[in-house]
Copies of this chain bind each other. A is one copy, B any other.
Amino acid sequence: MESHEPKTSNSTAEEDGCSNWDRAVVARRVERLFLHLNPPPEFSDGVELARCAGRAKSDVNTEQLSKYMRGKYRDVQQKVYDYFNSRPELQTPLEISKDEHRELCMRQLMGLVREAGIRPFRYVVEEPAKYFAILEAVGSVDMSLGIKMGVQYSLWGGSVLNLGTKKHRDKYFEGIDNVEYPGCFAMTELHHGSNVQGLQTVATFDPIKDEFIIDTPNDGAIKWWIGNAAVHGKFATVFAKLMLPTHDTKGVADMGVHAFIVPIRDMKTHKPLPGVEIHDCGHKVGLNGVDNGALRFRSVRIPRDDLLNRFGDVSRDGKYTSSLPSINKRFAATLGELVGGRVGLAYSSVGVLKIAVIIAVRYSLLRQQFGPPKAPEISILDYQSQQHKLMPMLASTYAFHFATLDLIDKYSEMKKTHDEQLVGDVHALSAVLKSYVTSYTAKSLSICREACGGHGYAAVNRFGSLRNDHDIFQTFEGDNTVLLQQVAGYLLKQYKEKFQGGTLTVTWNYLRESMNSYLSQPNPVTARWEGEDHLRDPKFQLDAFRYRTSRLLQSVAVRLRKHSKTLGSFGAWNRCLNHLLTLAESHIESVILAKFIDAVRSCPDPSSRAALKLLCDLYALDRIWNDIGTYRNVDYVAPNKAKAIHKLTEYLCFQVKNISRELVDAFDLPDYVTRAPIGMQAAEEAYAQYTQFAGF
């Protein structure tokens, strides 16, 4: 153990009301405890032989760790697992045609709601954490089912509850809840996805008949990718520009995008209603259990009451009323209500990542290939390269677990209190977490497949369907690249407010402090500290993450100001786009790390805490190493410190590997949920299950 740094350098400044000095003291205690539990790693060559000798004995108490990880809603998740486990005919086979898959998916949803008696709709607004727990569990049965359920309850149902008023709730709640009213969320058009304000579908008010007339003005405005539309939907929440008649020469005023309930199929015959043309969007890369369709409207009339009028209404005489002063505000309020979808995706994405990591880690422990001369072959997880692929991923899975649980807590709180600061915080946090987590999971699924070699390519071992189904998580409910830009925009706003002395949103409070430390030069002394105590000190890690965010933020603000003069604000933004995206990612990495450090500290069981501390250090140092160029470029870390970070990262991978079986077991997902033969909990059965599957 190298440890020659002074320990009192971090006794200034405050954060979240807890002084850093306190924090450092706690951190040192945690570290001492950790070192007590896990004897100091002999960070020398001597211990290396253990790398070939298999896993070191582990102290981790899986049950305790699992208990700490488990959310409040594990019971309802177990109910979902048990129900589908008891109904093999409802399980999705490896080979199924698109049309059969869609029907099966509908039967799965019906079974869940009507037979298992799990009614997710009531939780959408009232107990969102429970809703998301059900969503995650359902997604692990078949991700198509998760998305189908999300379309019905979060999107179609959610739009009625969140954008409509009591009359809509009274009229539609029951039918949505029991799936008598399967519905769609018709926002995206062929030519417009991310740019919702550019939608072209129109809803023109006809004051004579007291109706809206819904029209698709051109091919580009065809509603596209609408889930539930191709086969099952009876209704659609249609987003369209509200057009009101005026008395001026134009004759009509565009009031901006609003949402309308439009019946699309006959309740009895199930045939498309007059004026509604429905086509099938066809096969997708994944999620083929969801029937995405395309909708074209030709003068479809709906009563005035079917405008979802929470944020803007039209009176009998065609007058527009709203509690919100402008089109932009109303648009923001409308989209703001849809933020739950992102929360759910971020959370479900972590669920997918857990399944993949469990399978990849267990198989990597099982699989043996090569080894020292004249000795038995060793497990492929004993190879440094395999640890490098999977251990930072395992650490990230834990990090994301805590971060998304926190997001759900904040979201639930927001739904209760409608606190304005919290609304802003949840919006930005859900956008950036959804983006960051789903991109990470998507990459990880490919890494897991590749890390499991040929057997990872067997469909039964799940990486293919997980990847294909999850892939679109990066795009829907907000394209990741677009969402990251929104968050960069929020960060710049916060930055501006800081300099005007205003208050910062909770999640970004850290910027106040780290911006100060950033604006001074990096400390040439600490830049040279390379002892393990220092590198594993949460204070060093958080400082480094936040320094980076602050630096990116300050420098992009300067660049934007400079370029705006010649390019205008849009041109300047585009000129700095890569920089802005990096800023948003750096920010969320800081936020995730802070949450993870809190979660380590709050863990009551010492052995679990020690394991979490190990994972947290790996998460932190791996990320710092990944961007070491930035840190080196401003001499935030000296060359030898950079090397020490790299060396320690590799060593932490090795340490995590030694308890990796317990760490994946702690996710507490039974074999009938993970379902991959090569990822079975009882290693001795894995190959046998796999050969049996092939008919041996």
What's the dominant secondary structure at chain A's contact region?
helix
Q: Check A691 for interface membership: any CB of B closer than 8 A.
A: yes
- Flag if B194 contacts A94 (CB, 8 Å): no
User: What 9 additional pairs, Cβ within 8 angstroms, besides A222-B696, A294-B691, A457-B471?
Assistant: A45-B567, A49-B571, A188-B454, A190-B690, A195-B369, A283-B459, A384-B575, A388-B578, A633-B642
Closest to A576 in B: B384
- Flag if A369 contacts B695 (CB, 8 Å): no
- Flag if B280 contacts A45 (CB, 8 Å): no
Question: Which among A285, A474, A481, A693 has the greatest number of chain B C-beta atoms within 10 A?
Answer: A285
How far is B457's CA from A48's CA once the two chains are assembled, in angstroms? 46
Min CB–CB distance A472 → chain B (angstroms): 5
Q: Check A604 for interface membership: any CB of B closer than 8 A.
A: no
Stretch at the interface among A33-41, A370-378, A543-551: A370-378
On chain B, the residues within 8 Å of A386 by CB distance are: 481
Min CB–CB distance A406 → chain B (angstroms): 26
How far is B127's CA from A109's CA once the two chains are assembled, in angstroms? 58
Min CB–CB distance A515 → chain B (angstroms): 21
- Flag if B571 contacts A285 (CB, 8 Å): no
Min CB–CB distance A378 → chain B (angstroms): 9
- Flag if A468 contacts B471 (CB, 8 Å): no
Q: Check A566 for interface membership: any CB of B closer than 8 A.
A: yes
- Flag if A571 contacts B52 (CB, 8 Å): yes
- Flag if B457 contacts A46 (CB, 8 Å): no
Min CB–CB distance A341 → chain B (angstroms): 15
Q: Check A281 for interface membership: any CB of B closer than 8 A.
A: yes
Q: Check A299 for interface membership: any CB of B closer than 8 A.
A: no
On chain B, the residues within 8 Å of A377 by CB distance are: 195, 198
Q: Given A188-B454, A632-B632, does the pair A95, B283 have CB atoms closer than 8 Å?
A: yes
On chain B, the residues within 8 Å of A95 by CB distance are: 97-98, 283
One digit per residue, 1 when the CB lies within 8 angstroms of any chain B CB and 0 when it does not, for chain A 659-696 equals: 00000000000000000000000000001101101111
Q: List 12 A-B contacts (CB under 8 A).
A: A94-B282, A194-B453, A219-B691, A220-B687, A282-B460, A283-B458, A384-B576, A386-B481, A443-B446, A446-B471, A632-B632, A633-B639
Q: Check A568 for interface membership: any CB of B closer than 8 A.
A: yes
Min CB–CB distance A199 → chain B (angstroms): 12
Q: Check A517 for interface membership: any CB of B closer than 8 A.
A: no
Q: Check A383 for interface membership: any CB of B closer than 8 A.
A: yes
8 Å CB interface, A576-621 against B: 576-578, 581
Q: Check A284 for interface membership: any CB of B closer than 8 A.
A: yes
Q: Check A192 for interface membership: any CB of B closer than 8 A.
A: yes
Contact of A577 among B222, B384, B562, B688 (CB under 8 A): B384
Q: Count A-side interface residues using an 8 Å CB cutoff.
A: 103
Q: Given A193-B369, A283-B95, A454-B225, does the pair A629, B650 have CB atoms closer than 8 Å?
A: no
- Flag if B632 contacts A279 (CB, 8 Å): no
How far is B694's CA from A570's CA once the two chains are assembled, in angstroms? 35
How far is B439's CA from A458's CA once the two chains are assembled, in angstroms? 19
Min CB–CB distance A234 → chain B (angstroms): 21
Q: Given A98-B95, A372-B570, does the pair A459, B632 have CB atoms closer than 8 Å?
A: no
How far is B510's CA from A210's CA once the two chains are assembled, in angstroms? 81
Q: Check A657 for interface membership: any CB of B closer than 8 A.
A: no
- Flag if B694 contacts A294 (CB, 8 Å): yes
On chain B, the residues within 8 Å of A633 by CB distance are: 628, 632, 639, 642-643
| The 3 A-B residue pairs with the shortest CB-CB distance in the complex, in nearest-first order | A285-B464, A283-B459, A629-B629
Q: Given A454-B188, A464-B286, A567-B48, does the pair A369, B574 have CB atoms closer than 8 Å?
A: no
- Flag if B283 contacts A566 (CB, 8 Å): no
Q: Check A421 for interface membership: any CB of B closer than 8 A.
A: no
One digit per residue, 1 when the CB lies within 8 angstroms of any chain B CB and 0 when it does not, for chain A 435-468 equals: 0000100110010011001101111100110011
Closest to A44 in B: B566
Closest to A575 in B: B48
How far is B684's CA from A219's CA once the two chains are assembled, in angstroms? 13
How far is B450's CA from A37's CA once the two chains are assembled, in angstroms? 45
On chain B, the residues within 8 Å of A576 by CB distance are: 384
- Flag if A696 contacts B563 (CB, 8 Å): no
Q: Check A51 for interface membership: any CB of B closer than 8 A.
A: yes
On chain B, the residues within 8 Å of A459 by CB distance are: 282-285
On chain B, the residues within 8 Å of A83 by CB distance are: none
Q: Given A48-B571, A49-B567, does the pair A281, B384 have CB atoms closer than 8 Å?
A: no
